[in-house]
Structure formats: structure tokens, C-alpha cells
Chains A and B, each alone.
Chain A
Amino acid sequence: MTRKQKLVVIGNGMAPGRMLEHLFEAAPDAFDVTIFNAEPRVNYDRIMLSPVLSGEKSFEDIIIHGDGWYIKHGVMLYKGHKVVEIDRQAKKVRSEHGEVASYDKLVIATGSAPFIIPVPGHDLPGVLTYRDLDDVDAMLLAAQSRGKAVVIGGGLLGLEAAAGLKERGMDVTVIHLMPTLMERQLDPAAGYLLERELESRGIKVITKASTKRILGETRVEGIELEDGTIIPATLVVMAVGIRPSAALAKEAGLSVNRGIVVTDSMQTSDPDIFALGECVEINGNVYGLVAPLYQMAEVAASHLTGGTARRFVETSTATKLKVTGINLSSVGDFSEAEDREEIVLRDAAAGVYKRLVLKDNRILGVVLYGETADGAWFFDHLKKQTDISEMRETLIFGQAYQGGSQLDPMAAVAALPDDAEICGCNGVCKGKITGVITAKGLKGLDEVRAHTKASASCGTCTGLVEQLLSLTLGDAYNPAAVTPMCGCTGLGHDDVRRLIKAKQLKSIPAVMQELEWKTSCGCAKCRPALNYYLVCDWPDEYADDYQSRFINERVHANIQKDGTYSVVPRMWGGMTSSSELRAIADVVDKFNIPAVKCTGGQRIDMLGIRKEDLPAVWADLGKAGFVSGQAYAKGLRTVKTCVGTDWCRFGTQDSTGLGIRLEKFMWGSWTPAKLKMAVSGCPRNCSEATCKDIGIVCVDSGFDIHFAGAAGLDIKGTEILGHVKTEDEVMEHVVALAQMYREQGRYLERIYKWAKRIGLDEIRRQIMDEPDKRKAYYERFVFSQKFAQVDPWSERVSGKDKHEFNPMATLTLEAAE
């Protein structure tokens, strides 16, 4: 073993701290490390001083390396020791307190010093800079007077200081030399918005103001500007910039310009001396933001441990102003030039301003004000130099659209401002939708959904989006134009259904082949739809494609947000018994089912069941006589009933019995979307039949058949299909109606939407007035039920699709370290 090398580090800021982390990770035993820190403390996160100033954090919160870290890594840390001499001949450094350390390798990380404007009075007590914790402590002391403060410099640091002092109760004025704030990070428009925001918080901002002198005899009393304005102040903070602290290196004879000159491997002009951080200059540039400093740390660590490949590469760095409540972020180069283009989004009322500077379809610079959520995303594309031409039209709107409140759907669309939210689920505003319609030449709803996601989730804003299409396109918008099923085909649902019949297509691959699908095996939109159409049209010949069913229909339970399932056994017509309830209670106890709930359809829902437990749960329920409630299915769900003539003093017919009869006849059938029914024993309508997909209201003279109600995303009372006299007639009419819907509905289209599309009169005509048609529908339903009425739970309990419910393997090996 060779002797450990001696590494001396001058400075204990964030850059050398990070370098040592890399070093200890890569070569924990290579060096004996000694650190000289001019500040009497450990390494802390200097960037977070502003929250300390404003009181949001304490110093303890921002420590990076506590004392323990230095002990653990055997580092000798001299706190409060400023190094005053480097003897390169003897390879030794000496601190102002006379401590001497010799080195094999030396790292200089002396950082930077705040620039002090050399105006008269700059050395008066009460004039501070903003660099380290001592400055913060001094400001906090001064702030106790709750007097007046002037901050010279309207850059990042100055504004954070101003906001912090304001937070601490001082009366703050910011003096800035340039016409707008933060001109190095912000363009004038964003600078202006920032100025207004600060003023609204009670911070005075004076731009184009040059300081003539600082007033006061024994301590600060105010400042005088070049134009003669006098501003009284008991505290003056100078935050006009920093410059590299390179004096020590210069005295040691190292090459120094603005900063200590280093190569892209952080090597100074002396091969045994490295330098990094704010004190260095690489290719003429000096750096003050943390990202490049951390990059330097990696490079230096790698070269110290013998690696030679890592080089410092100049990259853009994002700037963020850390003032609570002000969202501002900028990155890159955003000056204007001939060959550059820009995309700007302004919303004065909301205080939002976004600007992208582009060159050759690549992002050069980004300024975000008011809304910075997409900062990281833009920055990512800037760093990667993504070709954004594909998404150019929507680029400015950022990456994702989250949350937000619902818009009143009754508001007149035309009068809405551009920033009004149209789609609450996806956070899409009107301006975006109209903008995209124009820019991309969109023609229909599906295209808008694809490009903006507006109305693509819950769909309640579909009407609004359609109105926007009409508003934007005028007569060119033809809502009747066929919208393709999905991106895999140009055909609409109706065409696909027609062609399945006409061409006798009996499998998904056959449909895709014959109808020239554009994808090899469809997508999550078209496959479940095709599977339904084929099941419906060829009940005896088509083999259900399990892998094209949504998970709920595959495992016959409802997936929940945490990946567990809920199980709803069928309770015919909502009737149950003590033995059924006892069986449910036993299952709940046995499988530790965390939640049991009554559903709106008069069933009991057991929630939070692990997938692996499903077959066992079903087995137990099956022993008690339960079958699947199909609460997951695009199919017949529930028939809700009231107690009818059995118990009710108002009941006119046996609504419970009819409900049970309907449910026992129709269960297991697949429909385009879920199908919920109800039977009420009198017009008081306790089972709420008049908002169901199909509802029956019993009256003295027989039965009113209702349909096309809705009580979900839409609220809609039912329409009357007709009146019949007997239960048998109810069965025939209701079943025929369901079959007509099954044959014509588009996948996921609820019955009320289908009815609106087909026309109520047409449906009444076929079901009520044409007995032959009705009987034919009825027969086709009955035929298909032969193949559909198989309890999926008992099928799976007996082993079908066993693979679905168990992990393929459980690995016991430890994660390799």
C-alpha cells in the first residue's frame, strides 16, 4: 500500500463539499483531507440563505455536512481559518492563525466576494453585503429595528434580500441601475411583471437609479441617488454582483484573469493545484450558479482520483427567484437576434408571461413568470436540444395539464376569456383549444382531444369543445363528419360495425386485416370496442378476446386506485337474506376486507381485495349461492326495485318480482356501455326508475316503459318508450330495446346518447309499432344469452385464467449491491 496522499482544500463551500463527496465515494482511502474554511462553520447550502433571511428556514435546515460528516471521513476542518499564503515550492499553505499544512494536491475553492460599489460612505456601519450567514445574521439584527432598508441591486440576490427584509418587517426600497429588474435573467416584459408584483407587496422599486453616495456620519442614515433623490435608511444592502476571490492564487503566482484560470479538467497552471467554484475562470467564463459548480466538483474529483476523461462542459443553467409566492424561472439565452424566433404567451390578468426563444426549432432560452411548473420540462428540451418542430404549436403550453376547477358549463362560450378553463380534468383553457384548432387545422372533436386532451377524460366539456370548434371554424365545422374510432383506423364506429356484418368478419385480426388497420394490433381504444362488436354480432362463433378486455372485465372485479379490487355479488333486484349477509360478513372477516359499502344499485360492495385473493373470495361467495354482480361490466349491471305490492301500501304491481325476473333474464349480457335498470311499483318512483338507462314505472293499468335517462356526468330524465299491460310484454319490449341498443350503440356510448343519435321516434317505431322487428330483436338477445350466461366467478374458481391471479415468480435473492 502506498502512503495516503495529502489533499488540502482551501474553502468549504458547496463546490468543494460536493467534490469531496465524489472523492470519498470513488476512492475513500486515497487522501488525507484538510480543509481551511474562512467561515467559522461547516458546509451549508448557500442558495438557501434567502429562506433563512425570510424566516422560512433555520440555519440547521440548510446544513449540508454536519460535524459528524467530517469526523466520519477523517477530514481535518479548520473553521474560521482563512488561508493567507500558498507556498508552491514547499507545497504548504498557511492560515492567518499560523496553522500550516503541507499538501500533495491542493484545491482552491475560495469562492467569490460581493462587489462593493466604491461610492463615498460604502464603509459605514450598516452597509452590508449578502453572501454568507454572517451577512444574514447582521441583516436580521438590523431588521429588528423595523426601520427602513435600501437594497442596491435588483438582481436575484438583491430581490431575495429585499423580500426577506420586507418579510422581517422592514420598509424596503430596491435601487436598480438598469431599466428593468433581473435583466440578466429576465426579458423586460417579465422584469416589469416582477416589479409590479414586488410593489404590490409594498417593496418600492426605483429603476434606472445610480447611487451617488451613502449618507451618514457614524453609521448609515440614507443614500443619495445621482438625480439628487435622498432615501433615508438604517440598513443598506449591496447586492450588485460578485467577483471571484482569486487574490490568494494570484499571490501564489498562478495564472489569474478575472478568476483563477483553469482548464476544463479544473487544473490551474500548477499541475498539483486544482481550483473550482466561483473563484475560477474557464474559457473566459466565470460561474455563480450551483449547477456548473457541481459539475466542476465532479470533474475535479475524477481527475484527483486519476480519471482523465471527465471534462467541464458549458451548459445552460436555470435560474429561480426564491421569493415565496413569486414564480419565476429562466434559462438560456433569450436576447433577440436575426436568426431567432420566439413564442410568447401572455395573460396579463393572471400575471402569467412565458417566452421561448428558438433557433432552428430548438429552444435557446426560456423565461417563465407567474407559472413555472413547466420550467423543468422546457429546460430538459433545451438541454437535450430537442427538435421541437413537431410540438411547436403547443410547446408554450407546457407539458402537462393538471387539476384546476370546473368551469360553469352554462357560461356562454364565446364570451369566455382565452384563459378560461374548458376541461377541468386536464386543465385545458379556451385559448389553447382555439389556438390548436387554428394552428393544426383541426376539424373534429377527436382531433382536439388528441392534441389538447380537452374533453378526453370525463367528457363533460365535450359540448363546450364542440362549440369552440364551431366558433373557430364557422361553417367549416361539420359535427356530423365521421370521426374515426381511434388513431388506428379512418373508419368510424358505425362503419366498422356495418363492415363486420357485411364482410362477415369474425375475429379482431380479420377486422384489422380487412379494414386496413394502421397499427399491427390496435390500441386500448379500438380493441375493447372491436371485441364487443364481435361478441355482440357473432355470439356463437366469436371467441371472446380476453386480452382485449379492460382489466375489470378480465378479472371480473373493479380495479381501485391502489391496484386492489372491489367485488360486488349479484343480489337479484336488490333483495338479500340473512344467510347471504352472513356469508358476506364471513368473507369480509376471512380476507380482512377493509371496506364494505352499499352501492347506488342496491348491492354490497367489498373494497380493497388483493388480486391474488379474488378466486378464493369468489369461491366462498359462490358456496353461499352468489354469482358475479358484474359491477365492472359494460353490460347489464343492476335492476333496482322498490318493495311493490309485496309490502308497500301504494304499490300497484309486483315491482320486486318484475325486477328480479328482468335481472335473471338479462344478466351476463354485454352492452356497448353499462346498462342500469330499475322497476318502481308506483309513480312515486322510489327506485328512481326515471333516471335509469331503462326504467319501468308500474301503474294500475300496467307498466310504463322508460329509457334513455342519465344520472351521472349528465342528469337527464327518461323518455317514455310506451305503455304495456302485462309483465310478459314488459320482458319482450325491454329486451328488444336492449338488443337494438346492443346492435347499434357505439362502444362506450350510453343508451341516452345512442337514443339521441338514432332518434326517439325511430326507436319507438321499431320497438312499439313493429311487432316483427321487436320479436326479432328479442330472439337475437335470447340466442346470445345462451353463450353469455355463464357465471365468470365460478368459471375462474374452477381454474379458468388461473395465470391472471398469481405472480409468475417470487424472487428471493437480495438486490445485488
Chain B
Amino acid sequence: MNALTQTWVRIGKIGDIPRRGARCVKHGDMSIAIFRTADDRVFALEDKCPHKNGPLSQGIVHDGCVTCPLHNWVISLETGAAQGADEGRTLSFPVRLEGDEIVLGLGAPA
């Protein structure tokens, strides 16, 4: 059976990201947006809106969500799921704080 191997990578400090903002991490061809909420929680989503691939990292972060800059879809930072009546889901990655270090979990694709 395929064990899900999780690699944890230090990507920077929480202070690198503005509150209610995001920054990107390049991972091969993929861009992963790292979000920091008003209350200093961090989340990681693929930087791609499920609607038309808009760069979520450029959106406005509010509560636990980000609003896509292209067409205002609202995406949950925790699950990557589109909110409200929109249907879709962006890939989300586990991310945690160790002190002020942000550690991103990159799993093998299931």
C-alpha cells in the first residue's frame, strides 16, 4: 500500500507575511500561497482558484477566507472549498507554526 509520505519544509517566518495577507512559495511548477490571518493563523493553498485559476494569494483575506481577485469567489483557507453557492475546491496543504517558523507539509500526491 502507498504510505502517504509527508515532508515538512521550513519556508520562512510568520513575520514575512503581512497580517490578512499572503505570500507564495514556489514548489516546482506549483505556486503555493501561504496565508496569515488577522489572528496569526497560517494556511496553505495552491495559488489557484477552483473557478478560473485566479491567484488566490492576491486576494483579500478576511476571517478564515480569501476572496479571489478575478471574480470574487470566496475560498475557505482551511479547506480550500468555495464558500456560499459556488462549488469547487482548491488543493490545501498542512502547515504549522514552530515558534515563528512556518513549516509546510508537502505530501506525496494521493
A positions within 8 Å CB-CB of B: 26, 377, 391, 394, 399-400, 453, 457, 519-524, 527-528, 546-548, 550-552, 554-555, 559, 561-563, 803, 807-811, 813-817
Contacts and interface: CB of A to CB of B under 8 A. Distances in A.
B87 A377 contact: yes
Nearest to B51: A400
10 contacts: A26-B1, A400-B86, A521-B37, A523-B74, A524-B72, A547-B19, A562-B53, A808-B16, A809-B11, A817-B108
Given A527-B62, A808-B34, A810-B25, 11 more contacts: A457-B71, A519-B63, A520-B63, A523-B62, A523-B65, A550-B69, A561-B70, A808-B12, A808-B25, A809-B25, A811-B25
Contact of A524 (B5, B26, B53, B59): B59
Nearest to B109: A815
Contact of A808 (B11, B38, B65, B107): B11
Contact of B7 (A400, A563, A813): A813
A562 B58 CA distance: 12
A26 B107 CA distance: 19
B16 to A, nearest CB: 6
Nearest to A400: B87
Nearest to A546: B18
A582 B62 CA distance: 43
A808 B23 contact: yes
Given A400-B86, A810-B25, A816-B5, A528 B17 contact: no
Nearest to A811: B27
Contacts of A809: 11-12, 25-26
B62 to A, nearest CB: 5
A363 to B, nearest CB: 15
B21 interface: yes
Contacts of A547: 18-21, 60-61
Contacts of B23: 803, 807-808
A673 to B, nearest CB: 16
B109 to A, nearest CB: 7
A340 to B, nearest CB: 25
B108 A815 contact: yes
B9 A811 contact: yes
Given A547-B19, A808-B12, A563 B61 contact: no
Contact of B58 (A26, A394, A559): A559
B45 to A, nearest CB: 14
Nearest to A307: B1
Contacts of A563: 53-55, 58
A808 B37 CA distance: 16
Contacts of A551: 58-60, 69
B87 A548 contact: no
Contacts of A527: 60, 62
Contacts of B24: 807-808
Given A521-B38, A808-B23, A811-B9, A559 B63 contact: no
A391 B21 CA distance: 32
A783 to B, nearest CB: 29
Nearest to A808: B23
Nearest to B48: A563
A480 B11 CA distance: 52
A457 B106 CA distance: 36
A808 B17 contact: yes
A400 B85 CA distance: 7
Interface in B22-65: 23-28, 31, 34, 37-39, 52-55, 58-63, 65
Nearest to B18: A547
Contacts of A377: 87
Q: Sort A-B residue pairs by CB-CB distance and give the 3 closest, nearest first.
A: A524-B67, A808-B23, A551-B58
A562 B27 CA distance: 18
Interface of B: 1, 5-7, 9, 11-12, 16-21, 23-28, 31, 34, 37-39, 52-55, 58-63, 65, 67, 69-72, 74, 85-87, 106-109
Nearest to A394: B85
Contacts of A520: 38-39, 63
Nearest to A376: B87
A795 B54 CA distance: 27
B64 to A, nearest CB: 9
B26 A810 contact: yes
A548 B61 CA distance: 8
A815 B28 CA distance: 8
Contacts of A521: 20, 37-38, 62-63
A809 B72 CA distance: 27
A552 B54 CA distance: 13
Contacts of A523: 60, 62-63, 65, 67, 74
B18 A803 contact: yes
A547 B18 CA distance: 8
A302 to B, nearest CB: 10
A554 B37 CA distance: 17
Contacts of B28: 811, 814-815
Contacts of A561: 52, 70
Nearest to B74: A524
B97 to A, nearest CB: 14
B34 A548 contact: no
A520 B65 CA distance: 12
B70 A559 contact: yes
Given A808-B24, A809-B25, A519 B52 contact: no
Contacts of A811: 9, 11, 25-28, 106
Nearest to B25: A809
A527 B107 CA distance: 35
B32 to A, nearest CB: 8
Contacts of B6: 816
Contacts of B109: 815
A816 B107 contact: yes
A563 B34 CA distance: 17
A609 to B, nearest CB: 14
Contacts of A522: 62
A521 B62 CA distance: 6
A814 B6 CA distance: 12
B62 A524 contact: yes
Contacts of A552: 69
B83 to A, nearest CB: 10
Given A26-B1, A453-B85, A523-B67, A807 B25 contact: yes
Best-surrounded residue of B24, B58, B74, B109 (most CB of chain A within 10 A): B58
A813 B108 CA distance: 12
A391 B6 CA distance: 38
Nearest to A522: B62
A555 B28 CA distance: 25
Given A519-B62, A550-B60, A563-B54, A803 B74 contact: no
A280 B6 CA distance: 40
A524 B60 contact: yes
Contact of B26 (A528, A548, A803, A807): A807
Given A559-B69, A816-B107, A528 B11 contact: no
B94 to A, nearest CB: 13
B40 to A, nearest CB: 12
Contacts of A562: 53
A400 B58 CA distance: 24
A457 B51 CA distance: 15
Contacts of B67: 523-524
A618 B24 CA distance: 22
B69 to A, nearest CB: 4
A519 B20 CA distance: 14
Nearest to B6: A816
A274 B3 CA distance: 27
Contacts of B18: 546-547, 803
A199 to B, nearest CB: 36
Contacts of A817: 5, 108
Nearest to A563: B55
A551 B24 CA distance: 14
Contacts of A457: 71
